[in-house]
Amino acid sequence: MGIESSLMKDADGKDIDDFYEMPNGCICCASKDDLINTLDSMLEKRKDIEYILVETNGLADSSQLIQSFWLDEGLCSKVRLHQAISVVDTLTFSKKLESELVVEDKDRQNSLPENELLLRQLLHADKILLNKVDLL
């Protein structure tokens, strides 16, 4: 059950109408078709959309998410991946890089050590943003 849409408010405190949540929660654990179908649905309702930002949490396997956008031209989706951006918490980066903690998805199909997941996120990123550099 998603809770984010009920928390999303505009500057006046009103609900944001154009907030979409995936039916199964996490886009890495949900059916990959759900993401593309949701984005296509958004584009059908709002023809003026130029870009859509898809945000994941720090445990997302970006390689799986990126593969969702590798569609056969025959599927006629209007969705194209422009770029993948990874944000690195510079305060915890070295600790996580050494971590052997295993991160498991809901279905336990893609269990990965945290350090491997971190490296995957960086390897698949077109841009890497360094966060908290002012605290180093």
**Which residue did the predictor score with more confidence, 50 or 89?**
89
For the question of whether the overall pTM of this predicted structure is more than 0.75, the answer is no
> pLDDT of 4-32, one tens digit each?
555 666 678 777 666 666 555 555 555 55
Q: How many residues does the chain have?
A: 136
Burial 98-109 (b: 16+ CB within 10 A, else e): ebeeebebeeee
> pLDDT of 78-124, one tens digit each?
777 888 899 999 999 999 888 888 876 554 466 778 888 888 889 98
